[in-house]
Structure 1
């Protein structure tokens, strides 16, 4: 059991460092339903206390161990009893930055962003306290639950590896460098995790990692794929704290005794929640060229949920991950498992939040963060669209930061919206005619009804069912959804009554479309917040537009871009070229141009750029181009 002694504040921290400011965290928390969070925390503490009393009696009567390490090195800790059956929580351990393309946005990366997790906090719950004195972690681990490191064991080794995957500095061994290597960690053991998570959410925690769970072979059969009480609790956390995002490993149960459906239906507990991000493990991807570049690990647990929701959500490297371990202050080792994939995603999402705050002085809601992650993911798997193995694909930090960076220059759309009962939301968008057009809507859904113990119960756990459609000239493009009649065949484009994520890919896009968001039935609470992310667009950001007289060609362009202004409707004063991160890279005084003007772009690197024209009366238009 977790040590209940409350230690002095000075003992809780290894070193003192400033991170997300108290003011920033207070601003985040001001948007939360703290009353409901406080009630939930008290309920979870009471439930844990009751479980501990029950555990003590049954461990003695049944001769059950509280914790142990198996032959594979996985750490088990008793959570509760289902009748007389012990339910354990197990650590899910069986080139992360390269696979996630985080190397392109870290210091020295091709995107020039220097996103290393500076001033950011990541919560980590794991089997044992992290070795905070490790040379790669020293000074950046805060022991939030009073459990400090004192001896290396299976739990601490796993937790220290997870921490290193996120924040290892690489100062002693460059190969161990984490994805957010200048961030800090709030460290906790996973005993009593749920009330602690609620408490730290109330302190402004944005992202947390959970590389553990109930192993499928240890669970009652009806738990597999089911929306149980644990699933509901984690959805309640997210719904009452809309900026918080939990990242959870999918588990490593393929090939276990519980695997009776060819790898499917192996997710348990909070891995079946709607709002957390659940992560599958794949092999390293050194150079993504298409879906065949992404190879599934031999162990990663597959979904979907019993009600046909797409889980896992995303994939990341979880095979042969090199990181810090707790044996000594300079120990390292390679491990594999979804335990290793989840912290890669947690670190990457933290960098997305860092970049968004850097550009716009605010953080994204978790639904927005998840929508950016899904919209930017690379295709993976044997069939188009999402599936129950890889989720929405391979996480791609380079593409995600491009989407974040171009929202104010018209190259993408990121909006946080609200839909009231009976309301229809419509937005006109224009394809850039070059890039794929992807429209993603995500909402943090209220907790759904808990399973009654029926095996493979398909009853939908979705509470508020939003629908998104993309329409052009009465042609309607539908969102992706798993085919409930033949799951193994992959996703289809049809109405999605299951997920609180709807994403649409428009084939061969060209011209203008309407994005339409509606809902079925009656919305619980009378309304539902949702986030909209669109990529592959060229949006005019001003009503004072002269797009009808402004054109650029060729596109893609080699060195010389022709800019044409037809007629004498406006007087053009200046032209500006911005890179994919919104930075000005070229300025041209157009000298009251009418007709065609040639702009030399030979000094620019290959990539995506935005060309902005301004007129003398405030007219403005933006065109998206690709430089070869």
Structure 2
């Protein structure tokens, strides 16, 4: 049978779905996938940038040799607490810039666990086939038993770093010692010394690298006050790399200087308040800067409470940008160490928070490629992480933990629901253009709309102005969400009142804007525009919408299944029409053990080559997205006799006895109560629409459903008097 797939349905034919129907697919970043990314890169510009960095590195090396002869500081140091320090650069004002690792010597919690094979979402993600770059004070001990052959050196450095080994383990450790398992425990890591970080990253990004981790930064007690929160040349250089390689994202640690009192002239408050301590590439616009959080989660991975860790460096950036971007857990992380191939240790700090985020982002890239056959641009990945972070404290972002604590589970669900209740659109705004889109709110959750973009490097470089508010943003996009002449504005912070709660106003400094609408009802118009002239005449952007009715597809099982026209060896089966719906049809003869499957966009199918006198069965379900499918309809059974075909009794569930059960509340949010005459030995099972049992337990107790994804489920109860089932919906 031939049929044409309409445009709206093509998103449903993901590699995973095709694999389910017998088509082979492999995941991970293959050579072909890297080549597809590089087709969108301007290799000439990246090559020119690498040459610029190479020349700069030669000149810097000469200057460092000279100044190291006259300074009281050593070129490399290892402090008593294990912190590694290295003289790595000279600021344009002559300040010696020392790089330092960002562990703070003093249970790994990762929402990424929900993405594993045994996780809540059961996605089977582990980072296999994916690669991450790690730049640190040296290379990791790549022979460690936790790395197998998945860690390698990316440069000629022979310096094995204890800190780099901790960081790398936090990302990729296999879990030979279960407590040490990394977030993306099947991924590969290429580790490097930080000496030539910009050059090596630019080269790796030009070859298709998606993510790199940088758990180090400029030592905060050896720079003048104007450096804090300033957009300097190193900030600009990293923005250049990311703008010219738009699939590459740098993840960096915010630093551990909150209580250092190193900045005597913060843009806000007193030195003891801990604000205005971000330095160097942590002030880049396009990178993702990670704070450390103390978190408390329940056994289901839900965030109960969170606060910024006492060590974590706070924003703001002097121009008012929201940094750090978000937070991860960096408290007492157990990981690999470099003493031996089987040694382990515990460390705390933003050095440990950053790789937890990096590993989670790597899994989200893997999942996006699995679902849609390609990777996200870095603006989309960064935007997704911020869009779905768990907001903590007062509503909106702050200068302590940015937009909140990373939630890989919510981010993955946003990808799952794309085209159903969420929208992810990578688009482009040309000079003078306006992007407009109308969406309808679901009405059952907040409507959240965000726009993210990788901006051109800032044109202004601070060379000594204390707390300069000259903005680094070049292409200033604006998002507005309008309903009935009422305009909803994005969040904004004020660096001069850094402790104030966020307000909703025009934002002219951040390359990410988000609009949150509580209790949204009805239709809204999303408008994305720009101020002034767009550098290069255009700006790519990524739009993310959640809490909207993107598709008209319904999760109800198809109804009114009936036989249509017949001839000598075929017949047509019809069912009720449904908008924007893909149907899975399963059918077989009664003598066959397994079902045949077809994907159909029309509300009918022609069954051919039927045998006179044979009994057949057919059932249908709707597919809205990969994770959103209805139950199958009742089975229609018939004996094929040409024009005399006879419909047999439809298949129904039969049970011994009658329990007369019911459940409430339905729909359920947190828990279900099973009502009925049950013995103390009654047990329940919760079954998905695809037949997978996801929970079991005692039927006489309340059933927690907080760990279930939204959707339709079947509750099956078994007792001495028989078996009964009922449906319920999880909100």
Under TM normalisation by the shorter chain, which class is it?
0.7 to 0.9
**Does 1:257 pair with 2:293?**
no
Match of residue 272 from structure 1: 283
Task: Give the SS at the match of 2:70.
Answer: helix
CA distances 1:41-88 after superposition (whole Å, capped 9, x unpaired): 111111111111111122123354110111221100111234664320
Shift of 1:19: 6.3
Aligned residue for 2:166? 161
CA separation of 1:277/1:459 partners in 2, compared to 1, >3 Å: closer, same or farther?
same
> Residues of 1 paired with 2:178 and 2:304: CA distance?
29
Partner residue in 2 for 1:8: none
- Mapping of residues 10-159 of structure 1, within 5 Å: 20-82=29-91, 85-94=95-104, 95-96=107-108, 98=109, 100-148=110-158, 156-159=161-164
Partner of 1:209: 213
Supply the distance in 2 between the matched residues of 1:321 and 1:572 (Cα, whole angstroms). 54
Counterpart in the other structure of 1:489? 500
- Paired residues for 1:109-508 under 5 Å: 109-148=119-158, 156-171=161-176, 173-260=177-264, 261=271, 262-287=273-298, 293-380=305-392, 382-408=393-419, 410-448=420-458, 449-484=460-495, 486-508=497-519
Contact 1:127 1:158 in 2 (8 A): yes
CA distance in 1, matches of 2:498, 2:116: 38
**Counterparts in 2 of 1:472-621, with a 5 A limit?**
472-484=483-495, 486-540=497-551, 576=621, 582=627, 584=629, 586-588=631-633, 603-604=687-688, 606=705, 607-609=708-710
CA contact (8 A) 2:138 2:164 kept: yes
Task: Classify 1:33/1:87 alpha carbon distance in 2 versus 1 (closer, same or farther; 3 Å).
Answer: same
Output the CA distance in 1 between the equivalents of 2:301 and 2:32: 43
Residue 492 of structure 1 deviates from its aligned partner by 0.5
Unaligned runs of 5+ in 2: 1-26, 265-270, 560-575, 579-601, 605-618, 637-651, 654-661, 667-685, 689-693, 695-704, 713-727
CA distance, structure 2, for counterparts of residue 492 and residue 42 of structure 1: 43
* Shift in CA distance, 416/344, structure 1 to aligned 2, threshold 3 Å: same
Which structure exhibits the higher relative contact order, with contacts defined as CA atoms closer than 8 Å and separated by 6 or more residues?
1
- Indicate how the Cα distance of structure 1 residues 608 and 536 shifts in structure 2: closer, same or farther if over 3 A, else same: farther
Shift of 1:588: 2.1
- Rounded to whole Å, the distance in 1 between the matches of 2:620 and 2:519 is 29
Q: For 1:485 and 1:58, how far apart are their aligned partners in 2?
A: 37
Query: How many angstroms apart in 1 are the aligned matches of 2:480 and 2:303?
Result: 26
d(CA) in 1 for partners of 2:547 and 2:291? 27
TM-superposed CA distance for 1:487, in Å, is 2.2
User: Size of the alignment, in residue pairs?
Assistant: 561
Cα distance, 1:312 vs structure 2: 0.4
Give 1:199 deviation, angstroms.
Answer: 0.6
Q: Match of 1:627?
A: 730
Q: Which moved more, 1:482-491 or 1:31-40?
A: 482-491
Contact 1:250–1:271 (8 Å) recurs in 2: yes
C-alpha distance in 2 between matches for 1:93 and 1:312: 17
| Secondary structure in 2 matching 1:60 | coil
Q: How far did residue 22 of structure 1 move? A: 1.5
- Assess, with a 3 A threshold, how the Cα gap between structure 1 residues 292 and 109 changes in structure 2: closer, same or farther: closer
Deviation string 1:93-137 (CA, Å, 9 cap, x unpaired) is 1134x3x41111012111010110010000000111100111001
Measured in 2, the distance between the counterparts of 1:219 and 1:626 equals 58
Asked whether the 8 Å contact 2:228–2:263 carries over to 1, the reply is no
- 1: CA distance between counterparts of 2:450 and 2:620? 32
Structure 2 Cα separation of the partners of residues 483 and 200 of structure 1: 36
Shift of 1:485: 5.0
Contact 1:442/1:501 (8 A) holds in 2: yes
1: CA distance, partners of 2:478 / 2:95: 42
Kindly indicate whether the alpha-carbon contact (under 8 Å) linking 1:440 and 1:534 is maintained by their aligned counterparts in 2: yes
Partner of 1:213, secondary structure, is strand
Alpha-carbon offset, residue 582 of structure 1: 2.1
The structural deviation recorded for 1:586 is 2.0
Q: Against the structure 1 CA distance between its residues 169 and 579, is the aligned structure 2 distance closer, same or farther, given a 3 Å change threshold?
A: farther
3-state SS of the aligned residue for 1:209?
strand
Judged with a 3 Å threshold, the aligned counterparts in structure 2 of structure 1 residues 447 and 289 are, in CA distance, closer, same or farther, namely same
| 5+ residue gaps, structure 1 | 1-17, 551-563, 592-597, 612-624
Separation in structure 2 between the aligned mates of residue 118 and residue 289 of structure 1, nearest angstrom? 23
Question: Does structure 2 conserve the Cα–Cα contact (< 8 Å) formed by 1:207 and 1:246?
Answer: yes
How far did 1:27 drift?
Answer: 1.4
RMSD: 2.8
Structure 1 residue 590 displacement after superposition: 10
SS in 2 for 1:191: helix
CA distance in 2: counterparts of 1:137 and 1:148, whole angstroms: 18
Q: Equivalent residue of 2:146, what SS?
A: coil
Seen in structure 2, the aligned counterparts of structure 1 residues 233 and 339 have a Cα distance that, compared at 3 Å, is same
CA distance in 2, matches of 1:33, 1:78: 33
Closer, same or farther: CA 385–575 of 1 in aligned 2, 3 Å:
farther
Which whole-Å CA distance do the structure 2 matches of 1:88 and 1:202 have between them?
Answer: 27
Q: CA deviation at 1:286?
A: 2.1
Between the aligned partners of 1:590 and 1:412, the Cα distance in structure 2 is: 32
Offset, 1:417: 0.6
Residue deviations 1:427-475, cap 9 Å, x none? Answer: 1111111122110100100011211320000011110111101111111
Range with greater deviation from structure 2 (342-351 or 576-585): 576-585
Asked if the contact 1:324/1:331 (under 8 Å) is kept, the reply is yes
User: Does the CA contact (< 8 Å) of 1:374 and 1:440 recur in 2?
Assistant: no
Name the CA shift for 1:407/1:546 in 2 (closer, same or farther; >3 Å).
Answer: closer
